[in-house]
Structure 1
Amino acid sequence: MARMVAGARRRALRDGDRQIDTAHLLHSLLEADPEARAAFEDGEQPARVLGYLVQRSIGYGLRWQAGAEGVPGPNPVPGWSPAAVAAMEVALERAAERADPRAGGVDLLAALAADPDCRAVEVLRRAGVDAELLAGRLCAALRRA
């Protein structure tokens, strides 16, 4: 997870964004974690998602720079969107339910896909991924693990 967070931070800085958002987390996660890429139902979906994220990073996502992702109000972690903080917290909670002290990439992918209002879900939808179905399938698999 540390490598994935570092990648998301670099991506946010390179994109000129004020904070790490859920799309940065998704991008870094899919690049860094083969288990997260393998969690998709269709083997072509991760490539489509990454393709959309690359397009976003070279300009299609500029409209997102106008505002912060997440709910209005104080930001719990400076440099992170509230939705990104919430996704990381949910990933840690999922790991704790399994008595695992560390969250994995699939925990984070499940948390991202389960938030219908985050940018990561917008990216998943635009790439043709049913985020709700993905979240449900991952949550069920994580409960069995």
Structure 2
Amino acid sequence: MQPRIPRQSAQEQDCRRPDVAVDDARLSDELAAVIAGARRRAVRDGDRQIDTAHLLHSLLEHDPDVYAVFGEGPGIARLLGYLVQRTIGYGLRWQGTVEDSGAVPVVMGGEGFSPLAASAMEHARRRAARRGEAQARGLDLLAAIVTDPQARAVEVLTRAGIDANALRARIDDRRDEYISGDAAR
């Protein structure tokens, strides 16, 4: 009898610097931990690739800035509930399919990531570069994930009653505060 949860190699268990096909030198240690967590979720869920919902779940787990942008209230509780449901079967209809809406250009070389997740990773790096930073952060990735309305993460947000456009505006407001030096870090 095979175990329900596939065993992870030592490399997959190391969340400090996961082996990702995209250039992780431009990722903060925190974002590298997020990717490692998303990879573990994908493996545990039996998915072939890390998708945007895996990334969203891992961002909420590992990045307090991302969690804070959602604010207090029932929305975040519903969101976490949907994400947990997905890990126990909610997302089974997605298994064996590739997350790709066609709305964003596919980033090649993102092995291990769905096309949308790979594009989101690249978008997060570009956001950081526009801000003058060498490494992307969790909020950069969250902003990139909620850009495409066909992303699985956006579907989960919508089911939880969270407007992806309003969330994106809050992320941009936080970025503007950070750039101007008004944010407490």
- What TM-score do the two structures reach when normalised by structure 1? 0.91
Structure 1 residue 41, shift from structure 2 partner: 4.1
The one-character-per-residue Cα deviations of 1:91-118 (angstroms, maximum 9, x if unpaired) are 1111111101111111111111121110
Long gaps (5+) in structure 2: 1-30, 180-185
* Residue type of the alignment partner of 1:68: V
Q: Structure 1 residues 8, 17: CA separation in 2 closer, same or farther (over 3 Å shift)? A: same
Matched, 1:65 2:95: yes
Q: Which residue of 2 aligns with 1:138?
A: 171
Matches within 5 A, 1:56-95: 56-71=86-101, 76=108, 77-95=110-128
Residue 52 (structure 2) aligns with: 22
Q: Compared with structure 1, are the counterparts of its residues 116 and 27 closer, same or farther at alpha carbon in structure 2 (3 Å cutoff)? A: same
Tell me the CA shift for residue 142 of structure 1: 1.8
Which structure has more relative contact order (CA 8 Å, sep 6+)? It is 1
Contact kept in structure 2, 1:30 and 1:46, CA below 8 Å? no
Q: Which amino acid aligns with 1:2?
A: A
Q: Please give the TM-score of this superposition, normalised by the length of structure 2.
A: 0.72
The reply on whether 1:47 has 2:80 as its aligned counterpart is no
Structure 2 residue aligned with 1:109: 142
Shift of 1:45: 2.9
Alignment of structure 1 residues 112-127 onto 2, 5 Å: 112-127=145-160
Q: Name the SS of the counterpart of 2:116 in structure 1.
A: helix
Please say if residues 90 and 111 of structure 1, whose CA atoms lie closer than 8 Å, have aligned partners that are also in contact: yes
What is the match of residue 26 of structure 2?
Answer: none
RMSD of equivalent CA atoms: 1.9
Displacement, 1:135? 1.0
Q: CA deviation at 1:44?
A: 4.0
Residue type at the aligned position of 2:111: P
**1:86 partner letter:** S
On the 8 A contact 2:70/2:167 being kept in 1, the answer is yes
| More displaced stretch, 113-122 vs 16-25 | 113-122
CA distance in 1, matches of 2:78, 2:85: 11
What is the alpha-carbon distance in structure 2 between the residues aligned to residue 64 and residue 115 of structure 1? 17
CA distance in 2 between counterparts of 1:93 and 1:4 reads 18
CA distance in 2, matches of 1:47, 1:103: 27
Q: Which structure shows the higher helix fraction?
A: 1
| Gapped regions of structure 1 (runs ≥ 5) | none
Q: How many residues align?
A: 145
**3-state SS of paired residue (1:61):** helix
**Which of 62, 85, 93 pairs up with 1:32?**
62
